[in-house]
DNA sequence: TGCTGGACATAAAACCGGTTTGTGTCTGGA
DNA sequence: TCCAGACACAAACCGGTTTTATGTCCAGCA
């Protein structure tokens, strides 16, 4: 036990990152159902027993990955404020989806699996909730968060599946155009 | 071949309805994966060969059912105009979901299957598109339809899963409150 | 004309031992 | 902290067999 008890150790971070990256590469290569922990560890150059020091199973690694992504998106908020200040993570998310379309086709696309899709929805929903539904908010805030998250995820799914020709800026603009009034309604 | 070539015959309608109803009851009883055509026919009191006179397979019956629902929702539009005239099918959909929560928990709830969920999404999306994206509309209309459909489905999913205590009126009001501005934006 | 039961070929699922592979846990050592 | 190796156990695989479900066809009936 050093200063911080877990994620501070650089070695830990290294192996966790390696596993996460291996997951990403195998995910777009084979899809969720056809990837196992062994191959994951081999790809990551990590001992198999080490895997279990960090995660309980495949799915835990996945949610860990989405936790990372969520944290990263949350962090993206501050630096260069976008035109609008509501839900600043969206800019980062859209760009990230764009840069990694292939991966996200395995995550939210028509041919994606159930688990992955569900976890991604959850992640987005949490981000939206943070923004729009404070801890003890009313039902409208919670329901509204689901509304917005569902809309965003479906928009992204449309984009990666059949919205090929459109830029991240266009999608972002459309999203904010449609969502800003909703946010205003909810946040009261 | 009488006046109309297919659905006009009352006998046809009877058996198709019987099969649809059997599907509904087995759906909330066992879920999509664990129901087969034999039991379906038995439940419907219909000869197994008759099934194939009407549908190619299980999934065709399902989409047929959603087609019926879509047609019914479309028809619901006219009679007593709701407060707002945009997407009048929503009123009927929300009420229908409310009356058949148990069924819809098997369709869009957390424990629902992939196929059913997907087909339901498609149905809703088509209804929204009819309303908001005319035949040769621009990409914003199409993407916007997906946006709204995704939002609506997710809102309904939240409702049947964890929004127990709220009335159809509340949900409808929230939906329109959040969606009307979006429609206005898109429809231009 | 639409529904039916029965017959049919075929595809899919269940079953069954025996085998292999993957999982999850625990070592001792680097 | 990580690793390799060993372990018990569950899950997947397997060829071969049986059972069940599917999809098609038909003669007969309402």
Burial (CB count <10 Å: 0-12, 13-18, 19+), residue B44: buried
Task: Say whether both A2 and A15 belong to one domain.
Answer: yes
Q: Please state the domain count of chain B.
A: 2
Tell whether A83 and A173 lie within a shared domain: yes
Q: What is the pLDDT of residue A2?
A: 37
Q: What is the mean pLDDT of chain B?
A: 92
Domain match, A109 and A148 both: yes
Same domain, B125 and B177: yes
Q: Which helix (H) or strand (E) holds B61?
A: helix B58-76
B64-116: pLDDT as tens digits: 999 999 999 999 876 665 556 789 999 999 999 999 999 999 999 988 889 99
**Rounded to whole angstroms, how far apart are CA atoms A72 and B148?**
27
Share of chain B above pLDDT 70, in %: 93
Residue A167 near residue A159, CB atoms below 8 Å: no
Give the nearest chain B residue to A140 (CA atoms): B174
Residue nearest to nucleotide D5 (CA to C1'): A49
* Cβ <8 Å between A143 and B171: yes
Q: Strand, helix or coil at B164?
A: coil
Query: How many separate helices (H) and strands (E) can be counted in chain B?
Result: 9, 0
Same domain, A161 and A112: yes
CB contact under 8 A, B154 and A151: yes
Q: Tell me what pLDDT residue B82 has.
A: 56
Question: How far off is chain B from A167, nearest CA to CA, in Å?
Answer: 12
Average pLDDT over residues A144-159: 98
Contacts of A112 in chain B (CB under 8 A): none
| pTM: predicted TM-score of the whole model, two decimal places | 0.93
- Measuring alpha carbon to C1', the residue closest to nucleotide D26 is B49
Which residue in B88, B61, B83, B86 sits closest to B73, CA to CA?
B88
What mean pLDDT, rounded, does chain A reach?
A: 92
pLDDT tens-digit series, residues A136-146: 999 999 999 99
Same domain, B89 and B139: yes
Q: What is the least distance, in Å, from the CA of B130 to any CA of chain A?
A: 17
Q: How far apart are CA A47 and CA A38, in angstroms?
A: 9
Give the least confident one: A57-61, B60-64, B82-86, B179-183: B82-86
Residue of A nearest to B186 (CA): A178
CATH number at residue B48: 1.10.10.60
Q: Which helix (H) or strand (E) holds B71?
A: helix B58-76
Q: Which domain holds residue B182?
A: 57-187
> Over the Cα atoms of chain B, what is R_g?
18
Same domain, B102 and B162: yes
Taking the C-alpha atoms of residue A48 and residue A51, their distance in angstroms, rounded to an integer, is 5
Pair (B30, B104) in one structural domain: no
Cβ proximity of A89 and A73 under 8 Å: yes
- The distance (Å) linking the CA of B23 with the C1' of C3 is 19
**With bands split at pLDDT 50, 70 and 90, how would you rate the model's confidence at B52?**
very high
Which of A163-168's residues contact partners 24+ apart within 8 Å by CB, and which partners? A163/B139, A163/B143, A166/B139, A166/B143, A167/A98, A168/A94, A168/A95, A168/A98
**Does B72 share its domain with B159?**
yes
Using CA atoms, how far residue B110 sits from A130, B31, B101, B138, B144, in Å, is 22, 12, 13, 34, 25
A54 CB-to-strand C distance under 7 Å: no
The answer to whether the CB of A72 falls within 8 A of the CB of A37 is no
Over pLDDT 90: what percentage of chain B?
A: 85
Choose one of A55, A72, A90: the last residue of a domain: A55
- pLDDT at residue number A113: 87
Residue B159, pLDDT > 90, answer yes
């Amino acid at each position: 036990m050093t200063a911080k008890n877990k994620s501070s150790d650089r070695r830990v971070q290294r192996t966790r990152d390696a596993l996460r990256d291996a997951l990403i590469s195998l995910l777009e290569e084979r899809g969720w159902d056809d990837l196992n922990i062994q191959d994951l560890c081999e790809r990551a150059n990590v001992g198999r027993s080490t895997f279990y020091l960090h995660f309980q199973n495949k799915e835990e690694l996945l949610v860990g990955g989405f936790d990372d992504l969520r944290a990263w998106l949350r962090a993206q908020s501050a630096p260069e404020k976008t035109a609008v200040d509501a839900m600043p993570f969206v800019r980062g998310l859209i760009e990230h989806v764009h840069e990694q379309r292939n991966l996200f086709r395995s995550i939210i696309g028509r041919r994606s699996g159930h688990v992955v899709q569900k976890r991604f929805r959850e992640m987005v929903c949490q981000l939206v909730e943070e923004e729009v539904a404070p801890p003890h908010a009313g039902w409208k805030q919670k329901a509204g968060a689901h509304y917005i998250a569902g809309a965003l995820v479906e928009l992204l799914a449309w984009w990666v599946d059949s919205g090929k020709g459109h830029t991240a800026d266009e999608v972002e603009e459309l999203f904010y155009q449609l969502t800003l009034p909703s946010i205003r309604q909810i946040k009261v």
